[in-house]
Amino acid sequence: MTARVIDGKAVARRVREEVAAGVAELVAAGGTAPGLATVLVGDDPASEVYVRNKRRLSVEAGMRDLHRHLPADAGQETVAALVDELAADPAVSGILLQLPLPAHLDADALVARIPAAKDVDGLTTDNAGLLAQGRPGLRPCTPAGVMALLDEYEVPLAGAEAVVVGRSVLVGRPMAQLLLARDATVTICHSRTRDLAEVCRRADVLVVAAGIPGLVGADAVKPGAVVVDVGIHRGEDGLRGDVDHDPAAEVAGALTPVPGGVGPMTIAMLLANTLAAARAQQDVEQGAEQGVEQEVPREVPA
Ligand SMILES: Nc1nc2c(c(=O)[nH]1)N[C@@H](CN(C=O)c1ccc(C(=O)N[C@@H](CCC(=O)O)C(=O)O)cc1)CN2
Ligand SMILES: [Mg+2]
């Protein structure tokens, strides 16, 4: 068997087109184009590429690029002051603090300063708490992108065995919550899991976000399973993921490639979150003008 290729590039393009149509509709209805503030601290080459792509694609979707760049030696107070300034700026719909930050900075403390309504990365404890409680909120972009791919390919989730390898705040934990919200039976694996391959082989849906190149081989894949590879590693012969692709493709029913799988979805979902945040903020402003007491509506992007 050779696995069906899950084409993240194509799905991401379609999501971005839908977001662009949503932005145009918001503006045509008298609203303001969403403003995305990407914040890059330092000059990590991979982060520079990701932020450049986020900016380019946000502009292509009709958004305003409110990018800010700080030097690698910017102190905690300086970054905190910038986040506070963006938080207070009504032109800013969404704030994205590109990770990883230089090691001398306390990333958690900085993320905590982002208002939940502008947290287009879905990383604040407010948005994580809403997700944990199964309530609407802004969702982390990579796991939201994985869910959009699974839906696009009509992967059944209710009652399915889902295994997530990795427990990061950015991917593994929210991924497990999103699958749980869709009634999958979810297992989270990590560096201390005994017999990883055996646990993975139970999965109808296997999501690998461990950050270890080629960690998951064909022996860890149930025949016919849907395998989603979140890893991205730069080697001498190009990019590779956490899954040993070619052998796994002989066993899986469907598999995401690296590149061209989950990566492009991360940016597409960021744009969807930014549009949702802008809509919610502009609804609130209209509500306030009409004297209506209204809580910030937090939409779950498609
Ligand atoms: N604040 C955040 N920081 C980081 C996040 C995030 O979601 N929020 N995720 C990753 C990096 N990331 C976005 O920031 C990201 C990674 C990969 C891609 C992507 O399109 N990958 C392509 C390959 C691109 C290449 O050639 O390098 C692919 O897989 O096809 C987009 C975004 C860590 N930081
Ligand atoms: Mg630190």
Which residue is closest in CA terms to ligand 1's atom 11?
50
Which of 86, 99, 228, 239 most suits a substitution to test ligand 1, by most atoms within 8 Å of the C-beta?
99
Query: What pLDDT, on a 0 to 100 scale, did the predictor assign at position 29?
Result: 94
| DSSP state string for 148-203 | HHHHHTT---TT-EEEEE---TTTHHHHHHHHHHTT-EEEEE-TT-SSHHHHHTT-
The domain spans of the chain are: 33-115, 141-258
Q: Is 76 a catalytic residue?
A: no
Annotated binding-site residue? 232:
yes
- Taking domain 141-258, whether its CATH number is 3.40.50.300 is answered by no
Query: What pLDDT, on a 0 to 100 scale, did the predictor assign at position 302?
Result: 41
Query: What pLDDT, on a 0 to 100 scale, did the predictor assign at position 283?
Result: 86
Q: Is 101 in the pocket of ligand 1 (CB under 6 A)?
A: no
| Residue carrying the six token digits 């506070």 | 84
Q: Is 96 in the pocket of ligand 1 (CB under 6 A)?
A: yes
- 3-state secondary structure string across 3-72: CEECCHHHHHHHHHHHHHHHHHHHHHCCCCCCEEEEEEECCCHHHHHHHHHHHHHHHHCCCEECCEEECC
| Topology of the domain covering 33-115 | Rossmann fold (3.40.50)
Q: Which ligand is nearest to the CA of 45?
A: 1
Q: Is 121 a catalytic residue?
A: yes
Query: What pLDDT, on a 0 to 100 scale, did the predictor assign at position 297?
Result: 40
Q: Is 102 in the pocket of ligand 1 (CB under 6 A)?
A: no
Task: Tell me what ipTM this predicted complex has.
Answer: 0.97
Per-block average pLDDT, block size 10, for the chain (302 residues)?
95 98 96 98 97 98 98 98 98 98 98 98 98 97 98 98 98 98 98 97 98 97 98 94 98 98 98 98 68 44 42
Which ligand 1 atom sits closest to the C-alpha of 140?
7
Q: Is 242 in the pocket of ligand 1 (CB under 6 A)?
A: no
Q: Is 141 in the pocket of ligand 1 (CB under 6 A)?
A: yes
Pick from 181, 184, 132: nearest CA to 162? 184
Domains 33-115 and 141-258 share a fold: yes
> Is 0.90 topped by the overall pTM?
yes
Query: What pLDDT, on a 0 to 100 scale, did the predictor assign at position 188?
Result: 98
Q: Is 98 a catalytic residue?
A: yes
CB atoms within 10 A of CB 167: 18
